[in-house]
Amino acid sequence: MDILQPKYDVAIVGGGLAGLACAIRLRKGGNSVVLFEKEAFPFHRVCGEYISMESWDFLKQLGVPLDSMNLPKIDTLQLTAPKGTSFTTPLPLGGFGISRYTLDALLAAKAKEWGVHLLEETKVEEVVFNGDHTVSFTTKGGGRQEVNAMVCCAAWGKRSNLDVKWNRSFLSRQDKRLQNFVGIKYHLKADWPASTIGLHNFKDGYCGISRIEEGKYCLCYMVKADELKSRQGDIKRLEREVLSGNPHLKKLLAESGVLEGFPVTISQINFSPKTLVENHVLMIGDAAGMITPLCGNGMSIALHTGKIASDKIHHFLAGKTDRDTMERDYAREWKGQFAARLRRGRWLQWFFGSTGLSNAFVGAFKRFPFLASPVIRSTHGNLF
């Protein structure tokens, strides 16, 4: 591992979109930044890989050459109900497809180019605040080290070792409808229209399919963990017995060619509300709260939170605000931008979590198509 500075302006835990965006912006603003990521780039993560257009300009500002990447633009949504009813509608803002394998690695390379001290295969074990933050971490070789930073951001995603260690309140919330899902993702060769995202509902879950780079498709679904558990973790059986209840999914699963290295899976997905600042650490991305994936804009929210946090931190480090004000301003802006969107996402999740309601919902859209656009818009933001 290359030599660490004795102290950084900012330490960021987690190299997903929120952490990388925040790190790049702070470094561009002249702050010293250390970023910890427990994996090594590039790597696959569970994600539907459809990014709302909200993020297009912001990603270009971070240095991702989107204009020259020939990425698929997605402007249509096909929504299907568990029994197969289908409804197709234009997407008000639309989006584009790119794998996390490619996007995260590009941003990680940009972060390094700008001079972010990026430590891969390095897992943070604890963050303690005593005026500054002391971050303890385990290195690639297994050694334990510490570093200090004036500000710390938690960009560690949906659920991490530190959430458990800090006993964060969202872990003990009781609403079963928002907890304990598993996510499963494939890259595929498929016969599916390049400009359409499919959102196929099935009993206790839903599955997205859309195109990414190089003519590949990403198929990603989320389902209640009990459905997989009751089939002894047998994914193929789950797909045969549960997902294939939707005729559109049955056809897709039967006719698509899975690419090597898939599926990738995650468990313990939880959509309960979270705290925004804890132990003086600013929570960004999914660590601050996760919008339900059927809204298709968790990545944009993660990037946007990284932007907001970097602005507030930059002001604090420049001596324009004190720590309390930085924390309060961050939480206030986060709530203003995202709280209502996440609430509406949870509300939609309840509908799509039930087979009957989900059939009724798609049926209602089919009969009253003008309802679709405001519902989709209500979970999305604007360019940032």
Residues binding ligand FAD (CB under 6 A): 13-19, 36-39, 45-51, 123-124, 155-158, 160-162, 183, 208, 220, 222, 269, 285-286, 290, 293, 296-300, 302
Nearest to 155 by CA among 283, 36, 268: 283
Query: Rounded to the nearest whole angstrom, what is the least distance from the CB of residue 320 to ligand FAD in the complex?
Result: 27
Report the residue number, 23 or 362, with the smaller CB distance to ligand FAD: 23
Query: Rounded to the nearest whole angstrom, what is the least distance from the CB of residue 147 to ligand FAD in the complex?
Result: 13
Report the residue number, 133 or 158, with the smaller CB distance to ligand FAD: 158
Contact 345, 352 (CB under 8 A): no
Query: Rounded to the nearest whole angstrom, what is the least distance from the CB of residue 247 to ligand FAD in the complex?
Result: 22
Count CA atoms within 13 Å of residue 217 on its CB side: 23
Report the residue number, 40 or 318, with the smaller CB distance to ligand FAD: 40
Query: Rounded to the nearest whole angstrom, what is the least distance from the CB of residue 144 to ligand FAD in the complex?
Result: 13
Query: Rounded to the nearest whole angstrom, what is the least distance from the CB of residue 182 to ligand FAD in the complex?
Result: 9
Instruction: For residue 246, give the H/E element and its range.
Output: none
Report the residue number, 343 or 366, with the smaller CB distance to ligand FAD: 343
Between CA 354 and CA 360 the distance in angstroms is 10
Report the residue number, 49 or 227, with the smaller CB distance to ligand FAD: 49
DSSP per-residue string spanning 112-133:
HHHT-EEE-S-EEEEEEESSSE
Report the residue number, 109 or 360, with the smaller CB distance to ligand FAD: 109
Between CA 79 and CA 77 the distance in angstroms is 6
Query: Rounded to the nearest whole angstrom, what is the least distance from the CB of residue 16 to ligand FAD in the complex?
Result: 2
Report the residue number, 268 or 318, with the smaller CB distance to ligand FAD: 268
Question: How far does Cα 70 stand from its chain's mean position?
Answer: 23
- CA–CA–CA angle 71, 75, 77 (5° rounding): 120
According to DSSP, the β-strands at 117-119 and 33-36 are: parallel
Between CA 26 and CA 308 the distance in angstroms is 11
Between CA 84 and CA 346 the distance in angstroms is 23
Query: Rounded to the nearest whole angstrom, what is the least distance from the CB of residue 154 to ligand FAD in the complex?
Result: 9
Return all residues near 370 (Cβ < 8 A) that are at least 6 apart. Answer: none
